[in-house]
Amino acid sequence: MTAKPRREPRDPLARRQEKHVPPGARSRAMQAMSARAATGRFVLQTCVNCQTVTYPPRDVCPKCWNELVWADQVRGATVLSETTIRVTTDLYFRDHLPWRMGKVALDAGPVALAHLHQDLKPGDPAEMHLLLDKRGNAALFATPSGGAFDMSDPQWREFVVSVRDSTVLVSDGSSAVGRAIVSALRAAGAGSIIAGSPQPSRAPQSSDAFASIEGVRSVRLDLTDARSITECLTGIGGPLDIVVNTARFMRSGGITAGRLLDQKRALEIGVVGFMRLAQASAPLLRTRRASAFVDILSIHALAAEAGFAGYSAAEAARLSLVQSFRHEMRAEGVRVVSVFAGPIDDEDHQSVPLPKLAPARLAQGVIEAIEKGREQLCVGDAAQDAMDRWFDDPALYIREKNA
Amino acid sequence: MTAIDRTLSDLVAHIASNKIAVVDLTNTLSPDFPVIVLPSEFGQCEPFRMDTVSRYDGDGPAWYWNNISMNEHTGTHFDAPAHWITGKDLPNGTVDTVPATEFIHPAVVIDISAQSAADEDFILTRAFLEDWEQRNARIPPQHWILLRTDWYKRVGTESYLNLKKDGAHSPGPDADAMRFLVLERYCVGLGVETVGTDAGQASNFDEPLPAHSILHGNGRFGLQCLTHLDRLPTFGAVVIATPLKIQNGSGSPLRVVALVPNSER
């Protein structure tokens, strides 16, 4: 691979710009809003009694003092006014001045203060987004209505991570999912892709499966081998913007009948391996203005599939670890994303009945989650259905899943 | 000083003066050193892994040490008779019970490097060995048979395991060659530079995996992943191979060295 990776030009003598993150502390109601925004929902509180829709988040209805519940709302709005902020005491916003905000009349009812896309002016119709800021808190963002808008808007880019021209590490680029993600990243304009290649591989040089694809480099990477992670990361030799963790070891087997060594390996790669990768890549990600760590999780993380006991345990353990990692990285302004998938149409799921998710569809979901600023995304009906049922009644879902 | 005392002190003195060279036949035990790959329906051999406990840091300010894990057959390693089903009922078949006298034996080096370079599936036959004896000398009893293939030069590349769609491809003996070495030449064992004493395709032989089957069925040993056999003379080297004393162990990674008379001095 001799193609020069595309990276933004940087002044070698410039003093490193310290990275600041938006203010962190929020009310309990605001946390609830952020939790919903993390999955891409556009929600506002509605009064159970008088049906008033209210914003900002509150503990009781401002009209009748009754209970408020979160409800999905229409996204339309009209820009009422525009303000450009030129002075602030907040270190994060000070780094990004001038900053445009405006009052918007939400079609759902309330008038709200929102971050404005550069192409919006008073009187314009707008589409509202609940985006997570770098600290993981929800914020209202107004973009021009009608779907497509300029994604290079500097304020928008403070809320999402862009794949274009980024350097991405895919921890296992040799699996069906890994290959699909590499292709999708390439199509989305990633500048440089490092595809991890677990060993052993076939002679001669099957690890160079990506050699013909410009901008993709295959590197020996085994998450059970700490040294290979260090060597892989040092080999990148520059900034790292996005990590997509696709490494896993999935073999069928229960607790009593399964092969213990396979189950141990599922944990060694899926759990300990994740920790090694997260630990080693975090210092690189935290120096970037916008960066993300994406972990692909099976819905078995929510409730065990008894026929894949070790794999389910590994996924569940990683779900827990990702929560901790996300908390740690919020303070560093790094987005940690969980992409949930049901059964995938790959070698690992060869005995699982249809329907199964095409790897390319999952890869599309990974790009979408990164570029839309999600913390969580369910790709495909199976994953969404599993999430809904688990959310609704976890104990019942566990029984039904293994009925 | 008795004659025996003198023999030992002479040996040590010759080693110190390099009249007897010590050749290291061991590959470095590292996470990326390849291990044998079996068909996917079988359990797999785990490679060497190392996690640092402390390195002059908060977890150990003045000391450096690692936790390590591996299979008994990872890296340069020793195969005990109990490794194979044919040797399962033999006395002293596990590494902890193999008598220590077995750890030091002379060696005969059979060079098949040219043949292996020409044909990566080169099979060592009885006919080849009989011809070799005609060209060299009769293989003496109680010797390690070391197969020089120069395969060690492939370490660090995928051509070491040489996995292809139909399995691994590397040289090794057939069953008649093994019976000849074990039952007629009374070898101590077979030492190779490849990842197994058997050829890469030996599971497809009429008598599958003959080296493992015949060596271990007769209480003999295997040494695999050796390196630098090209530094040994055909006759005259002494191999020191002392496996770890693992309870009921089927084999063990180990340091293998050879004592070689230094004819240049």
Q: Which residues contact A169 (CB under 8 A, 6 or more apart)?
A: A193, A194, A196, A232, A233, A236, A240, A242, A243, A244, A281
Which pLDDT score, from 0 to 100, does residue A47 have? 96
**pLDDT at res. A400:** 93
Check residues A142 and A25 and name the one with the higher pLDDT: A142
Most A CBs within 10 A among B33, B36, B49, hence the mutation to make, goes to B49
B76 touches chain A (CB under 8 A): no
Task: Return the minimum-mean-pLDDT range out of A8-12, A79-83, A194-198, B59-63.
Answer: A8-12
Tell me the per-residue pLDDT of B167-189, one tens digit each, with 9 for 90 and over: 999 999 999 999 999 999 999 99
What is the average per-residue pLDDT within A78-107?
94
Mutation for testing the A interface, residue in B30, B33, B163 having most A CBs under 10 Å = B163
Q: What are phi and psi of A195, to 5 degrees?
A: -100, 115
Catalytic status, residue B105: no
Q: Do A220 and B161 touch (CB under 8 A)?
A: no
Q: What is the pLDDT of residues B235-252, one digit of tens each?
A: 999 999 999 999 999 999
What average pLDDT does the segment A187-210 reach? 77
Distance, C-alpha B14 to centroid of its chain? 26
Please tell me the distance in Å from B56's CA to the nearest CA on chain A.
Answer: 18
Q: How many contacts (CB atoms, under 8 Å) link A and B? A: 47
- Give B109's pLDDT tier (boundaries 50, 70, 90): very high
Long-range contacts of A230-234 (CB under 8 A, 24+ apart): A230/A280, A232/A169, A232/A194, A232/A196, A233/A169, A233/A280, A233/A281, A233/A284
Nearest-by-Cβ selection for B159 from A204, A220, A228: A204
- Say whether B163 and A204 touch across the interface (CB within 8 A): no
Chain segment A257-313, per-residue pLDDT in tens:
878 999 999 999 999 999 999 999 999 999 898 999 999 999 999 999 999 999 999
Confidence of residue A318 (pLDDT cuts 50, 70, 90): very high
Q: Is the pLDDT of residue A21 over 70?
A: yes
Q: Between β-strands B256-261 and B235-241, what pairing exists: parallel, antiparallel or unpaired?
A: antiparallel
Is pLDDT at B73 greater than 80 in this prediction? yes
What integer best gives the mean pLDDT of chain A? 91
pLDDT score at B203: 93
Residues on chain B touching A205 (C-beta within 8 angstroms): 158
Catalytic residue among B14, B73, B77, B83: B83
Per-residue model confidence (pLDDT) at position A26: 82
Buried b (16+ CB within 10 A) or exposed e, B160-180: bbbbeeeebbbbbbbbbbbbb
Q: Which residues from B are below 8 Å from A227, CB to CB?
A: 30-32, 50
When pLDDT is cut at 50, 70 and 90, the band that residue A2 belongs to is very low
CA angle A121, A126, A131 (to 5 degrees): 110
**Is pLDDT above 60 for A208?**
no
Q: Which residues of A touch B52 (CB under 8 A)?
A: 226
Nearby residues of A123 by Cβ (< 8 Å), 6 or more positions away:
A78, A79
CB within 8 Å: B31 and A202: no
Check: complex ipTM more than 0.85: no
Which site among A224, A230, A262, A350 would you substitute to test the B interface, given the most B Cβ atoms closer than 10 Å to its Cβ? A224
Residue ranges of domains in chain A, CATH in brackets: 28-158 (2.40.50), 167-401 (3.40.50.720)
Hey, are the CB atoms on A227 and B31 less than 8 Å from each other? yes
Q: By the CB < 8 Å criterion, does B39 face chain A?
A: no
pLDDT over 90, % of chain B: 94
- pLDDT reported for residue A209: 58
Nearest 10 degrees: Cα torsion A120, A121, A126, A128: 70
Q: What is the pLDDT of residue B98?
A: 97
Instruction: Look at residue A89 in the predicted model and tell me its pLDDT.
Output: 93
Question: Which chain B residues have a beta carbon less than 8 Å from that of A228?
Answer: 31-32
Question: Pick the residue with more confidence: A203 or B141?
Answer: B141
Rounded-to-integer distance, Cα B1 and Cα B21, Å: 25
Task: Characterize the bridge pairing of strands A167-170 and A242-245.
Answer: parallel
Amino acid at B8: L
Give the helix ranges, DSSP H, for A88-191: 91-94, 154-157, 176-187
Cα–Cα distance, B11 to B17 (Å, whole number): 10
pLDDT at B265 (0 to 100): 45
**Cα–Cα distance, A374 to B173 (Å, whole number):** 59
Assess whether pLDDT exceeds 70 at residue A203: no
Cβ separation B162–A203 shorter than 8 A: yes
Q: Which of B50, B120, B158 to mutate to test the interface with A (most CBs of A within 10 A)?
A: B158
Rg (CA), chain B: 19
pLDDT at A257: 83
The residues near A320 (Cβ < 8 Å, ≥ 6 apart) are none
Mean pLDDT across A21-48:
92
- pLDDT 10s digits, A54-89: 999 999 999 999 999 999 999 999 999 999 999 999
> By mean pLDDT, which of A7-21, A321-335, A375-389, B24-38 is the weakest?
A7-21
* Set of chain B residues whose Cβ sits within 8 Å of the Cβ of A207: 158
Question: What does the alpha-carbon distance between residue B118 and residue B124 come to, in Å, rounded to a whole number?
Answer: 13
Model confidence at A101, pLDDT cuts 50, 70, 90, reads very high
**DSSP per-residue codes, chain B:** --HHHHHHHHHHHHHHTTSEEEEE-B----TTS------TTS------EEEEEEEEETTEEEEEEEEEE--TTSSSEEE-GGGSGGGTTSTT-STTTS-GGGGEEEEEEEE-HHHHHH-TT-EE-HHHHHHHHHHS-PPPSS-EEEEE--GGGGTTSTTTTTEETTEE---EE-HHHHHIIIIIS--SEEEESSSSSS-TTGGGSSSSSHHHHHHHHTT-EEEESB--GGGS-SEEEEEEE-----TT-SEEE--EEEEEE-TT-
Of A204, A222, A225, the CB nearest to B158: A204
pLDDT digits (tens, 9 = 90+) for A354-385: 899 999 999 999 999 999 999 999 999 999 99
* Closest in A205, A226, A227 to B158, CB measured: A205
Band the pLDDT of A1: cuts 50, 70, 90: very low
* Chain B residue numbers touching A201 (CB-CB < 8 A): 158, 163
Chain B segment 144-183 residues within 8 A of A by beta carbon are: 157-159, 161-165
Q: Do B34 and A205 touch (CB under 8 A)?
A: no
Alpha carbon distance A33, B161 (integer Å): 55
Q: Quote the pLDDT of residue B264.
A: 56
Q: Rounded to an integer, what distance in angstroms lies between the CA atom of residue A39 and that of residue A368?
A: 12
pLDDT at B144: 98
Residue B209 has pLDDT above 80, yes or no: yes
Q: Does B37 touch chain A (CB under 8 A)?
A: yes
Contact A225 B161 (CB under 8 A): no
Weakest-pLDDT range from A19-33, A70-84, A160-174, B217-231? A19-33
DSSP A354: S
Please tell me which residue of chain A has the smallest CA distance to B163. Answer: A202
